[in-house]
Amino acid sequence: MPIIDATAPSKSKKPMNYALKATLGLICALLLGSCSVIGSLYENSPQLVFWWLDSYLDFKDEQTPVVKEELKALQRWHRETQLPQALELIQDLLPVAQYDLLPEKTCGIEKKFLQTVPEVIARLTPTIAKIAPTLSAEQIKTLRSSFDKKNKDWSKEWLNGSPSERLDHQTDKGLEQARDLYGRISNVQKSELRNLAQNSGYEPSKNLAIKLYRQDETLKALEKIRQLKNKGDLSAESLVKESEQVVNEWLNNALRIKDPELFEYSERRLKVNCEAVAAFHNKTTPDQRAKARVKLKSYEEVVMKLMKPS
């Protein structure tokens, strides 16, 4: 279903912004991407994610094989445990795609998806804790610079221009997603998308604040792990154990925003977003819903194939 969310990635921006989102990226792609591309992206995801991480951290030669092996193991785990859950989410939508949707249904599916996050964090923690102690101060500095560059690009896209221009941009994102699922969108429906976007409560400055908070949590965690390693009085086993504690705290802090105002904003945006999905779907025609069902069936087939590695 279309998501009236200016932070949703466009088709040209497949990589997620955080390691957690990289692990969950397939499900996001299932809601946004082309079926002909999803399978190839997933099968090659260890290498693609490596390139993405390398663009942020500039891995050293001795780090490369370790990171690649961890990513392959992560993909195997994702295939075995997370793809069945992605399939279940798609199959939850299939029977109701041809009918009107209640907001409780779409919000329920989103909540069901979010319930998988703790499991993902538990699996990510040892992987990150194995790699993080090998990062140098220079690599953490490189990561900070990469964050700064991405933030400038994001700000240029979402903070520049008049309120009306920003609303146009937000509407275009929703329109892109609606067309991908439903096919041709009428002018009346385009107006509906604009109204939904206008009433979505989206505030770019708060989204940027959330991004900055999570980036800061990332940098602080990596620096803390680097300092643990430099202490020199920890055994290899103790270093891994303490690093895992730092990583687990970091990922959970990134998930649950500490600032009450930003946390409330984030939760409200989730609610408004899933309500908007139902509101737009309920304005679609029988032909558009049939197209959506065909698209969902194709996603189902792709995931079922991916669950059986060749």
Q: What is the pLDDT of residues 192-219, one digit of tens each?
A: 999 999 999 999 999 999 999 999 999 9
- Distance, in Å, from the CA atom of 16 to the CA atom of 31, rounded to the nearest integer, reads 14
Burial class (CB in 10 A: 0-12, 13-18, 19+), 286: exposed
Q: What is the pLDDT of residue 103?
A: 86
pLDDT at residue 245 tops 90: yes
Condensed to tens digits (0 to 9), the pLDDT of residues 106-137 reads: 888 778 878 888 898 899 999 999 999 999 99
Burial class (CB in 10 A: 0-12, 13-18, 19+), 300: middle
pTM of structure: 0.82
- Quick one: tokens of 130? 């194995």
Give 260-285 pLDDT, tens digit per residue: 999 999 999 988 988 999 999 999 99
Q: Which two structure tokens, joined as six digits, stand for 213? A: 């908070």
